[in-house]
């Protein structure tokens, strides 16, 4: 596979651009917004809360209503497959004194929402949810929500962000204590929008993020960098398909997102980052990769937050490496769009790859040769499982089939065309 490509805008930054733009009074512009179904669900929710959101040419405009001025939606907010959109919006609406119901697809309705509902209850928000704090969820904020100090119990940027978003519209100072550093787009972007937010990092790495609520936000002009979690599929394809050499341009290089690059380089991948530069407070660059002989490594648990969405595609790379790759600290993979740890292990087995699945770890034993392939992988409504195994099929001895490609549109609609432009063949079968 060869060529130069760009991938769509970062999903995390795209959701936040729409949400923060809705809270700023005036017009925010967003270039390179990810137009995946997840982000479009967030756009629809923000419209239902009073924002005017439109696309003119390749620029999205968000005419925000102002912090504290969201309208009561007339219908339940439907977030489809989108965990980030739904959880951040729950935080956003927790201090509002009106009822709002959240619904989603079968995958989202099976995911745990208690992780954000617990701190939101502490602000005084009333919550009605299904068994196990699952969707549909109805929130009704307290007339006088109280600021909280919350220590995030699992490494999750979604939980951190939900509490900070609630704090934006609560009088006084809301504090989040984050023992493990997770993606920091909320903190960076809220500072850019003029929120009263401070971040302190202690000597032991624990971060304390404080936000003082009920201040005005200023509209921004945003260009969303390429999503490293989407670039990952092209990068691994370039590494494992014989003879490949390709570049993925303008990719976000925020250190909370680059764990996969570090791991692949430790495995011996021929990866060089060119043209590093800064835009809108984030570092971006062009990632050049060439087909490489990979060796198995141990991926430490501490690295998990910086590559949490990349384990399915790392497991595919590991299947082509020589020796054992051991991935540790994977408990959060069990509550993603599906149980990704199990889905990856079954997919590898189905394609003749030797692996062992533990409670929170996975080992993959590659032979240094092409994986067998030939299997059909169950994707469980999970876009990243689908894309990871389609990449495997580009390099395996026999093609790999996935049972459903529809969910790819949640984050990377262009994936089959982009792979085709690089010379890889992905075909729909009846």
In whole angstroms, how close is the CB of 84 to ligand S3P at the nearest point? 4
In whole angstroms, how close is the CB of 86 to ligand S3P at the nearest point? 11
> Any idea which residues carry the catalytic annotation?
309
| Residue 351 structure tokens | 């394609």
What is the distance between the alpha carbons of residues 315 and 84, in angstroms, rounded to a whole number? 24
- Beta-strand relationship, 298-299 and 322-327: parallel
**Closer of 186 and 220 to ligand S3P (Cβ):** 186
Within 154-220, strands assigned E span 173-178, 196-201, 207-212
In whole angstroms, how close is the CB of 302 to ligand S3P at the nearest point? 14
In whole angstroms, how close is the CB of 337 to ligand S3P at the nearest point? 9
Q: Cα 288 to the chain's mean position, in Å?
A: 23
**Closer of 311 and 320 to ligand S3P (Cβ):** 311
What is the distance between the alpha carbons of residues 97 and 288, in angstroms, rounded to a whole number? 51
What is the distance between the alpha carbons of residues 232 and 356, in angstroms, rounded to a whole number? 23
**Conformation bin of residue 143: beta by default, left when phi > 0, alpha when psi is -120 to 50:** alpha
In whole angstroms, how close is the CB of 243 to ligand S3P at the nearest point? 32
Look at residues 428, 362, 364, 354 and name the one whose alpha carbon lies nearest to residue 390. Answer: 428
What is the distance between the alpha carbons of residues 75 and 365, in angstroms, rounded to a whole number? 50
What is the distance between the alpha carbons of residues 329 and 264, in angstroms, rounded to a whole number? 18
Counting Cβ atoms within 10 Å, is residue 34 exposed (0-12), middle (13-18) or buried (19+)? buried
Query: Read out DSSP for 298-350?
Result: EE-GGGGGGGTT-HHHHHHHHHTSEEEEEE---GGGGGSSS-HHHHHHHHHHH
**Closer of 158 and 244 to ligand S3P (Cβ):** 158
Contact 273, 285 (CB under 8 A): yes
The alpha-helical segments, DSSP class H, found in 94-225 are: 106-109, 114-122, 157-168, 185-192
Residue showing the smallest CB distance to ligand S3P in the complex: 12
Contact 13, 224 (CB under 8 A): yes
**Closer of 12 and 258 to ligand S3P (Cβ):** 12
Tell me which long-range contacts 194-200 makes (C-beta under 8 A, separation of at least 24).
Answer: 194/218, 195/168, 197/164
**Closer of 240 and 407 to ligand S3P (Cβ):** 407
Positive or negative, the CA dihedral 49, 224, 311, 254 is negative
- Beta-strand relationship, 149-151 and 2-6: unpaired
In whole angstroms, how close is the CB of 7 to ligand S3P at the nearest point? 15
Look at residues 80, 106, 79, 81 and name the one whose alpha carbon lies nearest to residue 90. Answer: 79
Q: Which residues contact 358 (CB under 8 A, 6 or more apart)?
A: none
In whole angstroms, how close is the CB of 411 to ligand S3P at the nearest point? 8
**Closer of 183 and 365 to ligand S3P (Cβ):** 183
Q: What residues line the site for ligand S3P (CB under 6 A)? A: 12, 84, 156-158, 161, 183, 308-309, 332
**Closer of 174 and 351 to ligand S3P (Cβ):** 174
**Closer of 87 and 365 to ligand S3P (Cβ):** 87
In whole angstroms, how close is the CB of 314 to ligand S3P at the nearest point? 14
| Residue 428 structure tokens | 């729909």
In whole angstroms, how close is the CB of 155 to ligand S3P at the nearest point? 7
**Closer of 110 and 158 to ligand S3P (Cβ):** 158
């Amino acid at each position: 596979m060869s060529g130069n490509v760009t991938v769509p805008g970062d999903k995390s930054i795209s959701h936040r651009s729409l949400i923060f733009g809705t809270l700023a009074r005036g017009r925010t512009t967003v270039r390179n917004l990810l137009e995946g179904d997840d982000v479009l669900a967030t756009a629809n929710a923000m419209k239902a809360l009073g924002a005017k959101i439109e696309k003119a040419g390749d620029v999205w405009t968000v005419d925000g209503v102002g912090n504290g001025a969201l309208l009561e939606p007339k219908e339940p907010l439907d977030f489809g497959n989108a965990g980030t959109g739904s959880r951040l919006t729950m935080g956003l609406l927790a201090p509002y004194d009106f009822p709002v119901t959240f619904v989603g697809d079968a995958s989202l309705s099976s995911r745990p929402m208690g992780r954000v509902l617990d701190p939101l209850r502490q602000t005084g928000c009333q919550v009605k949810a299904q068994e196990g704090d699952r969707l549909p969820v109805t929130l009704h904020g307290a007339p006088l929500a109280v600021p909280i100090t919350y220590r995030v119990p699992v490494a999750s940027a979604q939980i951190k962000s939900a509490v900070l978003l609630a704090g934006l519209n609560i009088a006084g100072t809301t504090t989040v204590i984050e023992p493990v550093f997770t993606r920091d787009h909320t903190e960076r972007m809220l500072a850019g929008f003029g929120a009263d937010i401070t971040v302190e990092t202690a000597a032991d790495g624990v971060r304390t993020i404080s936000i003082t609520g009920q201040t005005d936000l200023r509209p921004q002009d945003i260009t969303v960098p390429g999503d490293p979690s989407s670039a990952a599929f092209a990068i691994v394809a370039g590494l494992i398909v014989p003879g490949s050499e390709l570049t993925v341009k303008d990719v976000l290089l925020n250190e909370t997102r680059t764990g996969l690059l570090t791991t692949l380089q430790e495995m011996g991948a021929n990866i060089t980052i060119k043209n590093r530069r800064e835009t809108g407070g984030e570092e971006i660059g062009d990632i050049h990769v060439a087909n490489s002989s990979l060796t198995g490594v141990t991926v430490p648990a501490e690295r998990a937050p910086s590559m949490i969405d990349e384990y399915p595609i790392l497991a595919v790379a590991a299947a082509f490496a020589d020796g054992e790759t051991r991935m540790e600290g994977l408990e959060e993979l069990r509550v993603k769009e599906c149980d990704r740890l199990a889905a990856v292990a079954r997919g590898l087995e189905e394609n003749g790859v030797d692996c062992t699945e533990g409670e929170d770890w996975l080992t993959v034993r590659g032979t240094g040769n092409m994986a067998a392939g030939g299997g059909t992988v169950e994707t469980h409504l999970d876009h990243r499982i689908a894309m990871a195994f389609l990449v495997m099929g580009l390099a395996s001895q026999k093609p790999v089939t996935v049972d459903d490609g529809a969910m790819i549109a949640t984050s990377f609609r262009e994936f089959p065309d982009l792979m085709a432009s690089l010379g890889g063949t992905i075909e729909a079968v009846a």
